[in-house]
Amino acid sequence: MAQAVAFVGIGSMGEPMAMNLLKAGFDVAAYNRTPEKLAALKQAGARTADCPAAAVTPGGIVVTMVSNDQVLKELVAGNGGVAAALGAGTHISMSTISPDTARELAKLHSHYGGHYLAAPVFGRPEAAAAAKLWICQSGAAPAKQAARPLLEAMGQSVRDFGDDPGAANLVKLCGNFMILSAVEAMSEAFALAEKNSIDRTAMAAFFGETLFSCPIYQNYGRILANRAFEPAGFQLALGMKDVKLVQSAADSAEMPMPLAELLHERLADSIAKGRSQMDWTAIELIVAEAAGLR
């Protein structure tokens, strides 16, 4: 009999991740606050639920992939939420949230006899569809054991960061900070090239194939060189949420992060110009405008 899994949060990332669980033979029950987004999963064989608790099998496994801390807390701890319904089961939280929220939810699940695993991911929707996500995890050993088959069905690698439920989320925030920092660096470099009549696409290809031969500089370099900011793989508004979480973590650690302040300014400027639904790489437009290229 196929293992029952509840998947809560069917967005641009959640849908392909849940699809891969279906392909791997799991019995998936899906919930989303916008029911219309469940159509493709239902057609593929998933069961659907009209509230988070209804998707959950007591003592089973639930995967969450939602937009922010507050939404996750409401889904897990609110009336008709996941924690009470799950009981002694395992919650695999794959959202980008604050380390403190992860620790808070771990304590809540422990109260009900359950386990919590932080398992945020690196990868855009196309990577999720190909089951090529890079996954960080941290939490209790029983949660890791229960989650392993699911994470292997959704990702290409799982890296462990210990028992602290907040650790994997801090790693995720650091990674997103480094990605957006690379976007800023490329944006400035490509603008400088363009101001000197150098083909930005040719330069992006050169660096992506030589000195910076890695997925971030290759994939994001192509997006930036071509200014392919729509449709968004990761919305700029979500990037702002993540940078604020980075800044909050830095404040807690009493650590200055001046580059994070610059990225916050770029995102705020972009949102003020009505670009919140564009890809977060669209901060490049602020650089181009400052350079007189737009």
Kindly report the average pLDDT of the chain as a whole number. 97
The answer to whether residues 109 and 144 belong to one domain is: yes
The answer to whether residues 122 and 32 belong to one domain is: yes
Mean pLDDT of all residues in 139-160: 98
End-of-domain residue from the set 115, 141, 163: 163
* Contact between 76 and 50 (Cβ < 8 Å): no
The answer to whether residues 28 and 147 belong to one domain is: yes
Determine what percent of the chain is predicted with pLDDT higher than 90: 98
Residue 78 is predicted with a pLDDT of 81
Residue 3 DSSP label: P
The answer to whether residues 32 and 152 belong to one domain is: yes
Mean pLDDT of all residues in 162-182: 98
The answer to whether residues 48 and 134 belong to one domain is: yes
For helices 141-154 and 14-23, angle between their N-to-C axes, nearest 10 degrees: 90
Total tally of structural domains belonging to the chain? 2
The answer to whether residues 148 and 249 belong to one domain is: no
The answer to whether residues 227 and 110 belong to one domain is: no
End-of-domain residue from the set 139, 163, 187: 163
Where on the phi/psi map is residue 9: left (φ > 0), alpha (ψ -120 to 50), or beta?
left
| Distance (Å) of CA 251 to CA 9, 118, 246, 254, 291 | 30, 22, 9, 5, 32
End-of-domain residue from the set 110, 134, 163: 163
The answer to whether residues 109 and 208 belong to one domain is: no
The answer to whether residues 156 and 233 belong to one domain is: no
Domain containing 210 equals 170-290
Determine what percent of the chain is predicted with pLDDT higher than 70: 100
Q: H helices then E strands: how many in the chain?
A: 15, 9
Q: What is the SS3 assignment for 140?
A: coil
CA distance 266 to 22: 39
DSSP 66-125: -SSHHHHHHHHHSTT-HHHHHTTSEEEE-S---HHHHHHHHHHHHHTT-EEEE--EE--H
CA distance 292 to 289: 5
Residue 135 is predicted with a pLDDT of 98
Helix or strand holding residue 156 (H, E): strand 155-160
The C-alpha angle with vertex 8 and arms to 89 and 70, in degrees rounded to 5, equals 100
The answer to whether residues 131 and 182 belong to one domain is: no
Residue 73 is predicted with a pLDDT of 96
Question: Mind listing the pLDDT tens digit for each residue in 2-48?
Answer: 899 999 999 999 999 999 999 999 999 999 999 999 999 999 999 99
The answer to whether residues 54 and 154 belong to one domain is: yes
Where on the phi/psi map is residue 198: left (φ > 0), alpha (ψ -120 to 50), or beta?
beta
Mean pLDDT of all residues in 171-194: 98
What CATH number corresponds to the domain at position 10? 3.40.50.720
* Contact between 26 and 150 (Cβ < 8 Å): yes
The answer to whether residues 208 and 190 belong to one domain is: yes
Question: Which of the residues 172, 195, 244, 273 is marked catalytic?
Answer: 172
What CATH number corresponds to the domain at position 222? 1.10.1040.10
Is 107 considered catalytic here?
no
